[in-house]
Structure 1
Amino acid sequence: MKERVFFEEFESLYYFHGGSENWAMQGFHFHNQYEIILFLTDGALMEIGNRTYHAKSGDLFLINNKEYHRTSGGADKTYHRYVLMFEPELLLHLEEAFHYDFTMFFEKRPDPFLHRLHLGGTNFEKVEKLFEKIEQNIHSENKGSIETSVRIKLSILELIVSVNEMYQFFMEKEKSKTLLDYEAKCETQEFKDPVLYRERIEQLKKYIASHVEERLDLHEISRKFYMNRYYLSHYFKKETGFTLTQYVSNQKIIAAKALLKEGHSVTDVALRLSYNSDSHFIAVFKKMTGITPKKYAQSKKSKKE
């Protein structure tokens, strides 16, 4: 049975603080935004790509906009959390001004990388207060004003810097041990396939990201990686939960959305991402997002205005 994977549209800034009971996503989803989740209760199951985490109170997760993920709560149990989602541009536009790499644990991650950072004591209190500060700014009486918008962005940057510092401290603390040793203690998921295949799959994902504008035919990819295409398909699905075709299609749609937001025409995007034709691109885009690329571009343009 194939896992359902879908793209979900959110506002450029999304914030949630509350609880959900008997809630589970129907399939893996991905979106344009980076996401930070802080769990306040035990019992939720967090699945990110091929990793499975049993979340506990104080667990903080960082998820980038290329990772498929889903969350589910325990039966007959309410789980509470903070959720903050924002588009990468919020950080990227300010990195040069501040001379600081805000996206270091969203993009330039160590290998291997654990999405989960457990916070306790003063660290938990500090991060929760920073979430509350963001919440106060979002629900300000002057919502919509330039001043409030600036305060929201600054409070998000403050949260990011604090979380980055905590991750860096964790990395130093674990220097004498490998992250894989730590992961073995924390995670229930077992990797039963040879390390060689896991490394190949990671290389393959990086290859797709850097060659997303090409046609990326399964036969050509298998030849490039000197792997039988049937074995390649089998291990890619086993390692990621998605077929190689699904993964390539979704990465192309992520790239297409970015190009459309920049003002490129539908024809230009279809040509640039090596679709067979405009109509083929439009059909795939609509199937995966629910709207045509033209309507998507118009919606983004109207929000800017």
Structure 2
Amino acid sequence: HKIATSSIEDYDRYLVNFSPKVITKYDQSMSFLLNCFTNPKPSRRHKLSLSDTEAQNFLSIVNKMIDLNNKDTPHKNIKMELFLLQLLLFINDSIDNKQYYNTETDEDPRLNEIMKFIQENYSNPISLDMLSSNFSYNKYYLCRLFKEKMGFGISDYIKSCRLSKAILLLQEGMSVSDVALKTGFGSDTYFISTFKKNFGTSPKQYLKKM
């Protein structure tokens, strides 16, 4: 994912990566905890603004997960999964309480269609020329509009969709070569270099840390 922020701002970034199977393996009814990721329309940005108190509560859970990850303790995996459930409950409750997602957005409807197209076709080659032709845009205008409305570039969004799926496939035991082909990267070299650039480690090293 791409972060857009002022160069003078300091921020901490926390990445919590997990497989959806972790949520549903005990009880399928718990799949509602994934609603914060699966229900929003493409035009609704996955960004939740928290009050100071809410941010403290959020960080309290995340810091417990970080502390646990650095310890060798009995039933570590189960404890981590419980913290994850707690974190997802917090996120979903925060969204519900704020009625965070509006029913109307000011984005061009075609942007929604473009994002949906990318989500459904990330495994195939996708170019700016293809998108501008398919959705009747001038490609330079499309680049500016997408970045202005969504806060990140088209290529960043394509890359994000591919990397998100790649992580799930790696967790399922698929080889790096197969993942590269299945997610549209085309070659092991490009997939690995992109993965390292975004996560700071290779796919195999990343899995060892999970």
What TM-score do the two structures reach when normalised by structure 1? 0.51
SS of match in other structure, 1:146: coil
- Contact 1:215–1:274, Cα closer than 8 Å, also in 2: yes
Identity between Structure 1 and Structure 2 (%): 20
Please identify the structure whose Cα radius of gyration is greater: 1
Q: Give, in whole Å, the separation in 1 of the partners of 2:58 and 2:140.
A: 48
Q: Give, in whole Å, the separation in 2 of the partners of 1:157 and 1:164.
A: 11
Q: Give, in whole Å, the separation in 1 of the partners of 2:154 and 2:39.
A: 23
- Which one-letter code corresponds to 2:47 in the other structure? H
- Which one-letter code corresponds to 1:251 in the other structure? C
**Partner residue in 1 for 2:108:** 198
Which blocks of at least 5 consecutive residues in structure 1 are unaligned? 1-29, 31-67, 182-194
Pair 1:69 & 2:7 matched: no
Offset at residue 161 of structure 1 (A):
1.4
Q: Give, in whole Å, the separation in 2 of the partners of 1:117 and 1:72.
A: 17
**Partner residue in 2 for 1:255:** 165
**Partner residue in 1 for 2:47:** 115
Q: Give, in whole Å, the separation in 2 of the partners of 1:216 and 1:137.
A: 37
Number of equivalent positions: 203
- Contact 1:222–1:229, Cα closer than 8 Å, also in 2: yes
Deviation digits for residues 80-107 of structure 1 (CA, Å, limit 9, x no counterpart): x7x6532132x54223534121122233
**Partner residue in 2 for 1:299:** 205
**Partner residue in 1 for 2:175:** 265
Q: Which has the higher contact order (CA 8 A, sep 6+)?
A: 2
Task: Identify if the C-alpha distance between structure 1 residues 134 and 149 changes in structure 2 by more than 3 Å, giving closer, same or farther.
Answer: farther
Task: Identify if the C-alpha distance between structure 1 residues 136 and 213 changes in structure 2 by more than 3 Å, giving closer, same or farther.
Answer: closer
Higher strand share: 1
Task: Identify if the C-alpha distance between structure 1 residues 250 and 143 changes in structure 2 by more than 3 Å, giving closer, same or farther.
Answer: closer
Matches within 5 A, 1:137-286: 138-139=66-67, 143-171=71-99, 195=106, 198-240=108-150, 242-274=152-184, 281-286=187-192
**Partner residue in 1 for 2:26:** 97
**Partner residue in 2 for 1:87:** 17
- Contact 1:256–1:273, Cα closer than 8 Å, also in 2: yes
Offset at residue 138 of structure 1 (A):
4.9
Which blocks of at least 5 consecutive residues in structure 2 are unaligned? none
Offset at residue 212 of structure 1 (A):
0.6
- Which one-letter code corresponds to 2:188 in the other structure? I
- Contact 1:260–1:266, Cα closer than 8 Å, also in 2: yes
Task: Identify if the C-alpha distance between structure 1 residues 102 and 84 changes in structure 2 by more than 3 Å, giving closer, same or farther.
Answer: farther
Higher helix share: 2
Q: Give, in whole Å, the separation in 2 of the partners of 1:245 and 1:227.
A: 16
Offset at residue 157 of structure 1 (A):
1.7
For the aligned residue pairs, the C-alpha RMSD in angstroms reads 4.0
SS of match in other structure, 1:103: helix
